[in-house]
Each structure stands twice: as structure tokens, then as C-alpha cells.
Amino acid sequence: MINQRQQILNLLGLARRAGQLVTGEGMVLTALQKDQVRIVLLASDAGQATIKKVTDKCQTHQVRMVNDFTRLEISQAIGQARTIVGITGAGFAKKIHQLTTKLNEGE
């Protein structure tokens, strides 16, 4: 059985192939402003300026932000080098939210 971390990373790859993933800082911030993003994954090793900017935008637009993964893990999951990704699909966002909640509760 695969753990929650791996399930989340697998979902990122699926979301990308389904066209329900926005990648890159500029694209994610633009999509946040247009209320198209349902959940944001930001690399835990991102720069401080990026972390502050994205955190502020997510709070303003009331979008959940997850920073449990490194840049390498996110990049490998989606097949391109990225520090930030946004999920636009409701189904993917809901499942990732459930898994990150379980992950953070230590189940």
C-alpha cells in the first residue's frame, strides 16, 4: 500500500495529464486572482519572497495552501521543474485536501 505522500504526488501527475494543473509562479498567481485554483502546492524549499507572496494571495482568495513537499518531489511528480502548482479541478483538489489532512494528522 502506498502512503499518503505518494498518493498526493500521483494525483499531481494525473491532474497534469487531465489538464487540471496550473504550474509556475506567474500562472498560479494569475489563476488565483481569477478564482480558478482550488488548492496550491508550494515547495517547502521555495524562496522566502515566493512563500510570502503566495501565502498572502492564498489567504486573500481563501485557497488552501500545502507546503509538505520539496521542489524535487513536485517536479518529479509532474515531469517538469516547478516550485509551485495549482489544482483547478474540484475532484483532485478535494482528494488532495483529504490526503494532506490525514498526512498532517499523522494517520
Between CA 40 and CA 73, with CA 90 as vertex, the angle to 5 degrees is 40
pLDDT for position 25: 92
Give the CA-trace dihedral at 99, 103, 105, 106, to 10 degrees.
140
Whether residue 92 has pLDDT greater than 80: yes
8: which residues sit within 8 A by CB, 6+ positions away? 66, 68, 69, 96, 99, 100, 103
Over range 75-96, report the average pLDDT: 94
Q: What percent of the chain has pLDDT over 90?
A: 87
Over range 7-33, report the average pLDDT: 94
**Assigned C-alpha cell, 35:** 478564482
Whether residue 2 has pLDDT greater than 80: no
Helix (H) / strand (E) element for 64: namely strand 64-66
Whether residue 107 has pLDDT greater than 70: no
Reported as a single tens digit per residue, the pLDDT across 22-63 is 999 999 999 999 999 999 999 999 999 999 999 999 999 999
